[in-house]
């Protein structure tokens, strides 16, 4: 898939999420918090997700593939492209996602700034959308933060 097609796919995903957000009723945040606890299940859990893009079109060249996996108990493990990463994740209604307690090893890396951007994307993620084998993260302002591809 070329960058133009991928960019169109991400724009369609943004439009779908924006329309869904506009048409939804206000939610009770305490109920949303309760929905963020417990055993996790769903298409985002148990899969390895490899970094595809930062934003809508920027590819990063990292020493190792940036990726993550979410386990059913809410643990997240992976790599920011330079360092091993681990933390916690909670999922809620309406594709709500919240990463927390993300920690990475601190190895010297020529792409340390890009690795920090990957970690920052996860820490900022507010909602997600899965389209076939792609996972797109959105910030609280509905802006596309980046995308991952499910590993085969």
- At 101-127, the pLDDT tens digits run 999 988 888 889 999 999 999 999 999
Q: Give 63's pLDDT tier (boundaries 50, 70, 90).
A: confident
| Cα 2 to Cα 5, 21, 57, distances in angstroms | 5, 29, 10
Cβ atoms of 76 and 88 closer than 8 Å: yes
Listed in sequence order, the DSSP H helices in 24-101 are 29-35
- Report pLDDT for 38: 57
Separation CA 112–CA 83 (nearest Å): 9
Angle ∠(50,89,75) on CA atoms, nearest 5: 80
What is the mean predicted confidence (pLDDT) over 18-35?
A: 39
- Report pLDDT for 107: 81
Count of beta carbons in the 10 Å neighbourhood of residue 84: 13
Candidates 42, 19, 23, 18; CA nearest to 93 is 42
Q: Give 15's pLDDT tier (boundaries 50, 70, 90).
A: very low
CATH topology of domain 3-150: Lipocalin (2.40.128)
Separation CA 9–CA 1 (nearest Å): 10
């Amino acid at each position: 898939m070329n960058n133009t097609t991928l960019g169109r796919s991400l724009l369609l995903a943004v439009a779908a999420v924006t329309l869904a957000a506009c048409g939804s009723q206000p939610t009770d945040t305490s109920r949303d918090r309760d929905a963020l606890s417990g055993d996790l299940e769903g298409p985002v859990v148990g899969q390895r997700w490899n970094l595809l893009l930062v934003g809508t079109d920027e590819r990063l060249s990292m020493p190792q593939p940036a990726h993550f996996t979410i386990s059913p108990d809410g643990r997240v493990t992976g790599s920011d492209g330079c360092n091993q990463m681990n933390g916690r994740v909670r999922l809620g209604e309406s594709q709500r996602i919240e990463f927390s307690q993300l920690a990475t090893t601190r190895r010297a890396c020529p792409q340390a700034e890009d690795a920090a951007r990957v970690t920052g994307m996860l820490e900022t993620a507010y909602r997600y959308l899965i389209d076939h084998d792609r996972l797109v993260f959105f910030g609280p302002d509905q802006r596309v933060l980046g995308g991952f591809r499910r590993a085969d």
